[in-house]
Amino acid sequence: MIRWPAYLLRGVAGLAGAFVLWLFAAWPPPVWYRTHWPAETAFQEMRRGEAQGRRSAKSLGRRGAETQARLYHPVPLDSIAPSMVDAVMAGEDQRFRDHHGIDWVSLRHALGYDRDDFHWASARDRRDLARALSHAWARRDQLRGASTITQQLAKNLYLSPSRNPLRKVKEAVTAWRLEAALDKDRIMELYLNTVELGPEVWGAEAASELYFHHPARRLTLFESTELAGELPFPLRSNPGYRPARMLHRQQLILAHLRGESVVIPPDSGLGDVPDTIVPAPTIDSLPPVQAESLVPLLQNDSGKAGQGDSGVAGRPDSGTTGP
């Protein structure tokens, strides 16, 4: 039997303890967000640093510094049109109400394990899972697409867009902690107020005011699916920039909301499109078949999405920001 020196054992134990501490470190703790808004998320801080770096580079080049003000106006969930909630769940996390932070079904499918059941006692299931895991790196794009709304919120609040596998493990642990501390409506409320929807545009309220000139309470179905269609690339695809990518994804979300069986990929599938800034698409600019299918939706949606509340009670202290 190998006898390990005491100092080596202590070193290993110290490293293990440090890893666990890092894994669970999150400030403020998730329970804080039951009653507070984040003053600045980790993602917002990262973007602010990037903007400052660009301004410094422009100043050094004597081209002048341009300032992009942060747009961030958190509002209660009942101040956001229900169509926005539906569109985001359709595009980003269709089983949001059913999972506990990790969507194991989507994760298995992303790995290439297509059956809906799995049993450790089954040799066939273990063999098929091992085969799927062996191709995990080749399917990394699909795995990124299996990220839930809770995981995206964990990333927005605490982490970064790094693709480091250890960072993804921390994202999963943080998502589980958010689900344990908050109910689904509060998670959705935080997500819709902190999600990136353009350069320095954070949340549905700020995006609605910027792109459509009215509050998020009045978002129509068509506008909601435009905003949801930005994801997961809001800097490259939004109502003011590269709308072809956004329009393609919007069509898939609308088809899903109509009850059609469609697969919404993590990317729009369009690849790179020209860097030309063009106007946001209108119903007249769509191909005849697409325009024809959208007319009933737009007519049914007219004046409806912005009426009333989503049924979620607002919090009396929901205007309080975090540290």
CA distance 99 to 105: 9
**Which run of H or E residues covers position 72?**
strand 71-72
pLDDT at 189 over 80: yes
Reported as a single tens digit per residue, the pLDDT across 114-134 is: 666 666 777 777 777 677 666
pTM for this predicted structure: 0.75
Q: Specify the pLDDT at position 284.
A: 40
Phi and psi for 272 in degrees, rounded to 5? -75, 140
Reported as a single tens digit per residue, the pLDDT across 222-256 is: 999 999 999 988 988 888 776 788 888 999 999 99
Average pLDDT over residues 258-283: 56
CA distance 206 to 72: 6
Alpha carbon 132 to its chain centroid, in Å, reads 25
Residue 78's identity, in one-letter code, is: D
Which of the pair, 57 or 212, is modelled with greater confidence?
212
Structure-token match 């909630």, residue found: 85
Could you tell me the CA-to-CA distances from 90 to 84, 99, 116, 231, 280 in Å, in that order?
10, 15, 20, 12, 22
Give the highest mean pLDDT range of 38-52, 122-136, 212-226, 246-260: 212-226
User: Per-residue confidence at 322, pLDDT binned at 50, 70, 90?
Assistant: low
Alpha carbon 314 to its chain centroid, in Å, reads 22
pLDDT at 317 over 50: no
Q: To the nearest whole number, what is the mean pLDDT of the chain?
A: 76
Reported as a single tens digit per residue, the pLDDT across 60-112 is: 554 444 445 789 999 999 999 999 999 999 999 999 999 998 877 776 766 66
* Coil, helix or strand at residue 201: strand
Which of the pair, 24 or 19, is modelled with greater confidence?
24
Q: Specify the pLDDT at position 223.
A: 96
User: Per-residue confidence at 211, pLDDT binned at 50, 70, 90?
Assistant: very high
Give the highest mean pLDDT range of 20-24, 100-104, 131-135, 145-149: 100-104
User: Per-residue confidence at 287, pLDDT binned at 50, 70, 90?
Assistant: very low
CA distance 115 to 105: 9
Asked if residues 282 and 308 have their Cβ atoms less than 8 Å apart, the reply is no
| Region of poorest pLDDT, from 53-62, 258-267, 298-307 | 298-307
